[in-house]
């Protein structure tokens, strides 16, 4: 069979940017191949709800093949890109195959950045994938199971201490979700634990929460968190993390569960492109989102370091940036094929929002600023709109309604083998201090994407990424 002469477009990544690029080219006379290391598109702004037992994984993820099943000019491959030959317009996959392209769109996303402290990854849980969310849920529920049987008050207090590092949208949402889960949802399940025993601590290195939002909204978010009894430690830096908790300066804060939401960096594919990178390993791109000297290659979303004209700061790695860049790049490919000049990408900021708990949220879009119940309703509405599939939207809406009325969450499941052994491990760690000697750490996240950023590589100080921050998409 003769090889197709249609332009070949390869998209790496099935997240917000990659999926939007493919969908924008529907009906065009091109051959599209979308490659992703996972078989599903993840609605990352709701990932924390899986971690907090509010939603099940299938309710925020959709198979990429199902999303694109009616797009006849697009095929989907499961695989990871190991090498890119820019000069030969070819990329290689982990299972030995290679793909030639006329246009390459790289939208592989970001990963957790520990800023060179890679050993911390053994003890602090990131929130970048469904596996991470399920592991956080497992760890929190196991801590309650161990505390239910613990007679030593100090050990039980340590088991029921949860630390969130990073005061961006993900950190705020995680802290609020942990507080609600601990004090309202699980209080009825674990009768031996007093309702006020669980402790949630949110640590932020700067002097305020939610960078990028108005000061008054940041203050409102802090007030709403404190209403939930979340302890805020602002202007506080973490100096070490172990199985016993976190070290703040010279003092240890003992905790059973530590969630890291303080930084992201581009995946290692960014460095394999051979192009110049900037802070966080993000690839510097031109005004049309293309790589310098390679107009046929575009990098978008969390992997792109795009500085708008007249600005000194790059665009944040949030969902709305990735989606707008995806549609823009598709339009530039279409203009190339029609031999029209390329345009300059102009980002339209629709705002940002973060939910803190039941009827608690903050939202900002231009001059419009909302807090409390009104912001929470806006948050619900926006996220329902952008979920993929009517059935999924209906299920999530019903889950939220049921949770609002009853304070119950149906996804309180501890999955994986040897659950009680892991609960016993947490109990043993709770009885030891941070200097009592090593305790073997059981970590079921064998396929976790551990950081491969060099120790001296700079990272993004904020965690605004499409996988971790909530924006008005």
User: Residue 274 — left, alpha, or beta (φ > 0 → left; ψ -120 to 50 → alpha)?
Assistant: left
In whole angstroms, what is the distance from residue 447 CA to residue 441 CA? 16
Q: HEC profile for the chain?
A: CCCCCCCEEEEECCCHHHHHHHHHCCCCCCEEEEEECCCEEECHHHHHHHHCCCCCHHHCEEEHHHHCCCCCCEEEEECCEEEEECCCCEEEECCCCEEECCEEEECCCEEECCCCCHHHHHCEECCCCHHHHHHHHHHHHHHHHHHHHCCCHHHHHHHCEEEEECCCHHHHHHHHHHHHHHHHHCCCCCCCCCCCCCEEEEECCCCCCCCCCCHHHHHHHHHHHHHCCEEEECCCCEEEEECCEEEECCEEEECCEEEECCCEEECCHHHHCCCCECHHHCEECCCCCEECCEEEEEECHHHEECCCCCCCCCCCCCHHHHHHHHHHHHHHHHHHHCCCCCCCCCCCCCCEEEEEECCEEEEEECCEEEEHHHHHHHHHHHHHHHCCCHHHHHHHHHHHHHHHHHCCCCCCCCCCCCHHHHHHHHHHHHHCCCCCCCCCCCCCCCCCCCCCCCCCCCCCCCCCCCCCCCECC
| Rounded (5°) CA angle 371-377-379 | 80
Q: How far is CA 315 from CA 298, 305, 416, in A?
A: 16, 7, 39
Asked if 276 is an active-site residue, the reply is no
Cβ-based neighbours of 325, under 8 Å, separated by 6 or more = 17, 289, 300, 301, 304, 306, 345
Task: Please tell me which residue in 20, 135, 145, 173 is annotated as part of the active site.
Answer: 173
Between the alpha carbon of residue 305 and those of residues 238, 240, 460, the distances in Å are: 27, 29, 11
Would you say 398 and 411 are in contact if contact means Cβ atoms under 8 Å apart?
no
Q: Distance of alpha carbon 373 from its chain centroid, rounded? A: 25
* Active centre residues (catalytic): 173
């Amino acid at each position: 069979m003769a090889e197709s002469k249609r332009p070949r477009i390869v998209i790496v990544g099935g997240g917000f940017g990659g999926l939007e690029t493919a969908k924008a080219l529907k009906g065009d006379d091109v051959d599209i191949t979308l490659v992703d290391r996972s078989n599903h598109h993840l609605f990352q702004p709701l990932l924390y709800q899986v971690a907090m037992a509010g939603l099940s994984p299938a309710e925020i993820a959709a198979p990429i093949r199902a999303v694109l099943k009616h797009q006849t000019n697009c095929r989907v491959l499961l695989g990871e890109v190991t090498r890119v030959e820019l000069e030969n317009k070819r990329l290689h996959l982990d299972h030995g195959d290679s793909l030639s392209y006329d246009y390459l769109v790289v939208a592989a996303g970001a990963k957790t950045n520990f800023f060179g402290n890679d050993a911390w990854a053994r003890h602090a849980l990131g929130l970048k994938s469904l596996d991470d969310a399920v592991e956080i849920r497992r760890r929190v529920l196991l801590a309650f199971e161990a505390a239910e049987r613990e007679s030593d008050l100090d050990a039980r207090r340590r088991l029921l201490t949860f630390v969130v590092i990073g005061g961006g949208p993900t950190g705020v949402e995680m802290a609020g979700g942990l507080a609600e889960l601990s004090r309202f949802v699980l209080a009825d399940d674990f009768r031996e634990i007093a309702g006020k025993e669980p402790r949630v601590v949110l640590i932020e290195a700067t002097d305020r929460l939610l960078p990028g939002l108005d000061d008054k909204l940041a203050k409102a978010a802090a007030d709403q968190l404190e209403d939930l009894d979340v302890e805020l430690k602002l202007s506080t830096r973490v100096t070490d993390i172990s199985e016993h908790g976190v070290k703040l300066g010279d003092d240890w804060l003992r905790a059973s569960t530590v969630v890291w939401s303080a930084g992201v960096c581009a995946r290692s594919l960014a460095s394999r492109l051979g192009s110049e990178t900037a802070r966080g390993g993000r690839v510097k791109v031109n005004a049309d989102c293309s790589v310098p000297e390679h107009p046929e290659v575009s990098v978008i979303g969390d992997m792109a370091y795009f500085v708008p004209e007249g600005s000194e700061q790059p665009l944040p790695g949030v969902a709305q940036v990735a989606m707008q860049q995806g549609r823009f790049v598709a339009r530039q490919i279409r203009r190339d094929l029609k031999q029209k000049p390329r345009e300059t990408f102009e980002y339209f900021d629709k705002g940002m929002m973060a939910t803190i708990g039941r009827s608690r949220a903050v939202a900002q879009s231009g001059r419009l600023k909302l807090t409390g119940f009104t912001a929470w309703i806006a948050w619900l509405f926006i996220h329902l709109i952008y979920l993929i599939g009517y059935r999924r939207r209906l299920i999530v809406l019903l889950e939220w309604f049921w949770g609002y009325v009853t304070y119950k969450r149906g996804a309180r499941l501890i999955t994986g083998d040897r659950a009680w052994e892991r609960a016993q491990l947490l109990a043993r760690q709770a009885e030891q201090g941070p200097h009592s000697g090593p305790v073997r750490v059981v970590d079921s996240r064998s396929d976790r994407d551990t950081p491969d950023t060099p120790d001296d590589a700079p990272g993004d100080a904020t965690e605004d990424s499409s996988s971790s921050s909530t924006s008005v998409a």
